[in-house]
Amino acid sequence: MNLAVFASAFAWQSRAVLGRHVRVHLRNWHTAMLPPVFEPLVMLLAFGVGLGRQIGDLRWAGAPLDYLPYLAPGILAYTAFMTAFFQSLFSAFMRMRYQKAWEGQLTTQVRLEHVIWGEALWAATLATAYAVAMCGVLAGFGLAGMLTLHWWWLPAALPLLLLAALAFSAIGLLFTALLPSIDYMGLPFFLVIMPIGFASSTYFPLPDVPWLQAAVQANPLHHLSEGLRWLLLRGEPTWHLAAAAGLCALLLLVLVPVDQRLLRRRVFGDV
Amino acid sequence: MPDAAAPLIEARGLVKALGGRRVVDGVDLSCRGGEVIGLLGPNGAGKTTSLRMCHGFLRPDAGHIRIAGHDLATDGDAARRALGVCTQDDTYDSDFTVRGNLQQTARYFRPRIGNLAARIEELLAQFGLTEFAGQKPETLSGGYKRRLMIARAVVHSPRVVFLDEPTTGLDPQARVGVWELVAQLRAAGLAVVLTTHYMDEAERLSDRLVVLQGGKVRAAGTTRELLGAVVGEHVVVMPFAGPHGEGVGLWLRTRGVRPSTVLADWHFALDAAGLAAFVAEFSGLRYEVRPPTLDDLFLALAREGQP
């Protein structure tokens, strides 16, 4: 394995590209903060409170549980997944294809591997920042007496969320490399987001179907949701966390070299 | 101690295959400080690929490139620090203002640029961008966008600049503005490599020309040397549809001269003796004799590529 592919994540050029994205984002921080705060708020109110009343109790880990506490850790995991995927796919694609920001960066000491790592690190950073905002929203529910979690585990979950977001961004970048044009942008949502999202225990417990239960063992979002759920509802770190970390690390090991190769071909017409 | 007369760009034996086709095949290129090299050739000749190898976008399959004494393959960071690139497309960062673009571009270089604020103000003034400094680049006219692109290329005070078709799509006034900037870069001692499709531009700006064809250097030298070597001394322009057309065609074939067809005219080059023979042979014919231009060079190269 070519370790240089991973070493370039720590190069100053990758940080310079990350800094560019942070700078652009912070300039509009007042509007940029609206989605990470209001999206989970609306989701928790609409699904957790609204739909939760219709559902009543559900069974999780052999015990009855209200829908709102079931949903809260799932949304935290889903936020990291969606934000990272969307940023590394849609936003990166726009910067590469239409804005030509990548080509501008490549006329400097920044090389393509740095541009790619800069995009991945930014997607992961933003996803983690959104997760932090989500934690604030959950804390608000806690203060309102609507939600009880093992709060001290929340900060401990953030490094895992960062790793997971980095892995999900590697999937997004794969599609950035492959999609011929923006007209095909629906494809990854159909092929990745819907299957991973629905078969992940984020919004509802999965039915006890043997093949489905076997298939979700390969889904890092499922382990992330379940791991966070055990952590935040029971205060117990479980094997799900290790499985989520392992699968995400595996995704990074496999996808980052593939992303770099495919994007090199895409950007330069070279291999 | 560095040799002041040594080339700042030195590319030897560049080879590159893309999509299974050898696009660049043994190209050599060199340029000294204070010199402008014009890289010419028809579409598909290998200009952009050669340029992209020289500024580090593409890795050559063979050959080596030195920028200001630094090998691009083994000392890439130092080589890239010494070069600036103005791409053919506008690749400024549309999320930043004109000033912000210069600041952000500067952040992509190490060692950092000393006294950056002063450097940016100096560039804004030099490139006539001061009054637009707070605007987004997309609000600028085409000419000013190009100025911004060139300013970005030199924000880190490089010793070498690559300008890929810097005036394409500009009106004549804006083109002249860019020419003046190129002249300033040359006067500042930078090595400048430029590609262009405008022959008058190549002739005016370049100290030397390198003509590529089929991925190889077809000819190199000053404009005069190139025209003499590839085209000839005199160019005759005459309508081919007149009563003498057939006779002239036969006369040219016997001498091994292939005319280029431009609309209703033949353009063909002759040396002094050939022109004297032509005048003697076709005394009653109306035609024009003019010195060769780089357009004739292009036509001659295109003709060479035909069966």
* Domains of chain B, residue spans: 9-227, 233-291
Distance from C-alpha of B81 to C-alpha of B159, rounded to nearest angstrom: 9
How many residue contacts between A and B have a Cβ separation below 8 Å? 62
Q: What is the mean pLDDT of residues B246-267?
A: 90
Distance from C-alpha of B103 to C-alpha of B116, rounded to nearest angstrom: 8
With contact defined as beta carbons under 8 Å apart, do A164 and A224 qualify? yes
Distance from C-alpha of B170 to C-alpha of B180, rounded to nearest angstrom: 14
Asked if domains B9-227 and B233-291 share a fold, the reply is no
Comparing A264-268, B7-11, B107-111, B129-133, the range with the smallest average pLDDT is A264-268
Q: Is B225 on the interface with A (CB under 8 A)?
A: no
The total number of structural domains in chain A stands at: 1
Beta bridge partners of B36: B192
Q: What is the mean pLDDT of residues B222-237?
A: 86
Q: What is the mean pLDDT of residues B103-122?
A: 96
Distance from C-alpha of A241 to C-alpha of B284, rounded to nearest angstrom: 96
User: Minimal Cα distance from A98: which residue of B?
Assistant: B91
Backbone angles phi, psi at A151, to 5 degrees: -60, -35
| Orientation angle between helical segments A112-143 and A153-178, nearest 10 degrees | 140
Q: How far is A96 from chain B, CA to nearest CA, in Å?
A: 10
Distance from C-alpha of A162 to C-alpha of A249, rounded to nearest angstrom: 11
Given this model, what pLDDT does residue B62 score? 97
Q: Say which residues have a Cβ less than 8 Å from residue B177's Cβ, sequence separation at least 6.
A: B128, B143, B147
CA distances from A94 to A87, A99, A218 (A): 10, 6, 30
Q: Which chain A positions have a beta carbon within 8 Å of B85's beta carbon?
A: 107
Given this model, what pLDDT does residue B4 score? 60
Q: What is the mean pLDDT of residues B253-279?
A: 90
pLDDT tens-digit readout, B142-185: 999 999 999 999 999 999 999 999 998 888 889 999 999 999 99
Q: Is B153 on the interface with A (CB under 8 A)?
A: yes
- Alpha-helical segments (H) within chain B: 47-54, 76-81, 98-106, 116-126, 142-154, 172-187, 199-205, 223-226, 245-254, 272-281, 294-304
Q: What is the mean pLDDT of residues B214-238?
A: 88
Most A CBs within 10 Å, among B14, B24, B85, B95, to test the A interface: B95
DSSP A21-35: HHHHHHHTHHHHTHH
- The answer for B34, left when phi > 0, alpha when psi is -120 to 50, beta otherwise, is left
Q: How many helices (H) and strands (E) does chain A have?
A: 15, 2
- Taking CB atoms within 8 Å and a gap of at least 24, the contacts of A238-247 are A241/A160, A243/A217, A244/A160, A244/A164, A244/A220, A245/A160, A245/A163, A247/A167, A247/A218, A247/A219, A247/A220, A247/A223
- Residue bearing tokens 């984002």: A25
CATH of B233-291, one of 3.30.70.790, 3.40.50.2300, 3.40.50.2000, 3.30.110.30: 3.30.70.790
Identity of the residue in A13, A23, A270 whose CB atom sits nearest the CB atom of B58:
A270
Test B91 with A104 for CB contact under 8 angstroms.
yes
Backbone angles phi, psi at B88, to 5 degrees: -65, -45
Which residues form the domain of A198?
A: 4-268
With contact defined as beta carbons under 8 Å apart, do A41 and A137 qualify? yes
Confidence of residue B1 (pLDDT cuts 50, 70, 90): very low
Q: Tell me what the pLDDT averaged over chain B comes to.
A: 92
- Alpha carbon dihedral A270, B73, B90, B210, in 10-degree steps, equals -90
- Alpha carbon dihedral B32, B33, B36, B39, in 10-degree steps, equals 40
One digit per residue, the tens of pLDDT, for chain A of length 271 reads 678 899 999 999 999 999 999 999 998 888 877 888 888 889 889 988 888 888 888 899 989 999 999 999 999 999 999 999 999 999 999 999 999 999 999 999 999 999 999 999 999 999 999 999 999 999 999 999 999 999 999 999 999 999 999 999 999 999 999 999 999 999 998 999 999 998 999 999 998 899 999 999 999 999 999 999 999 999 999 999 999 999 999 999 999 999 999 999 999 887 5
Distance from C-alpha of A264 to C-alpha of A116, rounded to nearest angstrom: 10
Confidence of residue B28 (pLDDT cuts 50, 70, 90): very high
Q: Is A265 on the interface with B (CB under 8 A)?
A: no
Given this model, what pLDDT does residue B20 score? 87
Distance from C-alpha of B203 to C-alpha of A190, rounded to nearest angstrom: 55
Q: Quick one: CATH architecture of B9-227?
A: 3-Layer(aba) Sandwich (3.40)
Largest CA distance in chain B: 73
Smallest Cα–Cα separation from B167: which of B125, B129, B198?
A: B198
Residue B90's CB: how many other CB atoms inside 10 A? 19
Most B CBs within 10 Å, among A108, A113, A263, to test the B interface: A108
- Alpha carbon dihedral B197, B199, B204, B206, in 10-degree steps, equals 60
Q: What is the mean pLDDT of residues B128-148?
A: 96
Residue B81's CB: how many other CB atoms inside 10 A? 21
Q: How far is A81 from chain B, CA to nearest CA, in Å?
A: 26
Q: Which chain B positions have a beta carbon within 8 Å of A19's beta carbon?
A: 107
Test A109 with B81 for CB contact under 8 angstroms.
yes
Given this model, what pLDDT does residue A91 score? 94
With contact defined as beta carbons under 8 Å apart, do B103 and B116 qualify? yes
Q: Is A32 on the interface with B (CB under 8 A)?
A: no
Smallest Cα–Cα separation from A146: which of A49, A79, A47, A42?
A: A49
Q: Is A261 on the interface with B (CB under 8 A)?
A: no
